[in-house]
A and B are shown apart, each in its own frame.
Chain A
Amino acid sequence: MSAPLKPSSMETLPSGLTGLAADWASDQRAFKNVSWGKAMMWIFLLSDTFIFGCFLIAYMSARMSTTVPWPNPSEVFALEIGGVHVPLILIAIMTFVLISSSGTMAMAVNYGYRRDRRKTAALMLITALFGAMFVGMQAFEWSKLIAEGVRPWGNPWGAAQFGSTFFMITGFHGTHVTIGVIFLLIIARKVWRGDFDTERRGFFTSRKGHYEIVEITGLYWHFVDLVWVFIFAFFYLW
């Protein structure tokens, strides 16, 4: 990758550790040439990290301190496909779907900055579709487990806390995915309509019309995928 092109107005900004100190010592906004919208999304995601962190730590404490055996997630989430018993396959498919949605989202952001609104909107729609697929599979997963007798206060295979942590963690993540799909659809519609070229005013477009909101939406979406990486590792694989 070539060095980023910098207009003359930015050459005065120091980079590296000097830049870090200069940014934080600034009496105006701390993150020079990072827009408020993006800085605020990052700070929201940081707060969300703490919430998911607390959920995962609570799950860790419950699992470490229980004297009753923990259900084996590999078997709990196994499926019979064509008469073949495949452990954890549902979660693996959900993981691949979510990663693919992250890939299409990253490309949507890229085409947004190229001001190619048709490709941007199309890629965002595909992302939303993958997101909806994920939520659909989660609904299937929940229905199956509820049918098998998993409740927030118990389950047929061992430690009762498995039920509560499962519904809490995957439920909160699924809510994030659902909100993300809605957010994606709203922004994709604006992109498709050309709001960022005509500088049309409105919800999330009240500032001048540039495509940065696509990247901010992308930050949220990638974060949802990022959280799933941790849930996949700690809840399903551990």
Chain B
Amino acid sequence: MAPVEAHAAQQHHPIKLYLLVWGLLFVLSTFSYLVDYVGLQGYLRWSLILIFMVLKAGLIVAVFMHMAWERLALIYAILLPPLLVLVFVALMVSESSYVLLTRLLFFGAAP
């Protein structure tokens, strides 16, 4: 089991690092909550929500899940496929706008 033991040696990080990330996640979550609490609206609200979300997700994956110390082959295998889901998102945005348009045409209700 030499490779696994070697791996274990690679995952010796100081506890301080985890406490730091934990703290950062708390701060970012508080900011996320404040976006709603303060009542920001429109593009400012949406971009702030997305920024805090991506930062939190990045910290969790990189440090807590040790992705930052994995082999590049694994990093690409895991991170690239979910990014391609964005294509699906784009398709469904287009589809949803079309459905909304047809609903407005047939039912005449304002959203």
- Which residue numbers of A lie inside 8 Å of B, CB to CB? 1, 4-7, 9-10, 15-17, 19-20, 23-24, 30-35, 39, 42, 45-46, 49-50, 53, 57, 60-61, 64-69, 74, 87-88, 92, 95-96, 99-100, 102-103, 105-107, 109-110, 113-114, 207-208, 210-212, 215, 218-219, 222-223, 225-226, 229-230, 232-233, 236-238
Sorting the interface of chain B by its residue count into under 10, 10 to 19, 20 to 34 or 35 or more gives 35 or more
Nearest chain A CB to B78's CB is how many angstroms away? 5
Choice from A50, A208, A229 contacting B1 with Cβ under 8 Å: A208
The contact sample of 28 A-B pairs, CB cut-off 8 A, is A1-B14, A5-B10, A7-B2, A10-B3, A20-B71, A31-B74, A32-B3, A35-B7, A42-B78, A46-B78, A53-B85, A60-B92, A61-B96, A65-B97, A67-B107, A69-B111, A87-B36, A88-B33, A99-B22, A102-B64, A103-B19, A105-B64, A106-B21, A110-B12, A110-B13, A110-B18, A210-B4, A222-B60
* Chain B residues, Cβ within 8 Å of A226: 57, 60-61, 65
Choice from A30, A35, A60, A229 contacting B60 with Cβ under 8 Å: A229
**Chain A, interface SS category:** helix
Complex: how many Å from CA A106 to CA B6? 19
- Which residue numbers of B lie inside 8 Å of A, CB to CB? 1-15, 17-19, 21-22, 25-26, 29, 32-33, 35-37, 46, 49-50, 52-53, 56-57, 60-61, 63-66, 69-74, 76-78, 81-82, 85, 88-89, 92-93, 95-97, 99-100, 103-104, 107, 109-111
Choice from B6, B66, B81, B99 contacting A33 with Cβ under 8 Å: B6
Complex: how many Å from CA A4 to CA B66? 13
Residue of B nearest to A73 (CB): B36
Residue of B nearest to A4 (CB): B10
Total cross-chain contacts (CB, 8 A): 203
Find out whether the CB atom of A67 lies under 8 angstroms from the CB atom of B36. no
**Chain B, interface SS category:** helix
Residue of A nearest to B99 (CB): A65
Find out whether the CB atom of A230 lies under 8 angstroms from the CB atom of B10. no
Find out whether the CB atom of A237 lies under 8 angstroms from the CB atom of B32. yes
Find out whether the CB atom of A215 lies under 8 angstroms from the CB atom of B66. yes
* Chain B residues, Cβ within 8 Å of A19: 71-73
Find out whether the CB atom of B64 lies under 8 angstroms from the CB atom of A218. yes
Find out whether the CB atom of B96 lies under 8 angstroms from the CB atom of A7. no
Find out whether the CB atom of A57 lies under 8 angstroms from the CB atom of B1. no
Nearest chain B CB to A218's CB is how many angstroms away? 7
Given contacts A7-B9, A64-B93, A69-B111, contact A238 B49 (CB under 8 A): yes
Choice from A31, A64, A109 contacting B11 with Cβ under 8 Å: A109
Nearest chain B CB to A165's CB is how many angstroms away? 13
Nearest chain B CB to A193's CB is how many angstroms away? 20
Find out whether the CB atom of B22 lies under 8 angstroms from the CB atom of A100. yes
Complex: how many Å from CA A229 to CA B56? 7
Find out whether the CB atom of A92 lies under 8 angstroms from the CB atom of B3. no
Find out whether the CB atom of B29 lies under 8 angstroms from the CB atom of A6. no
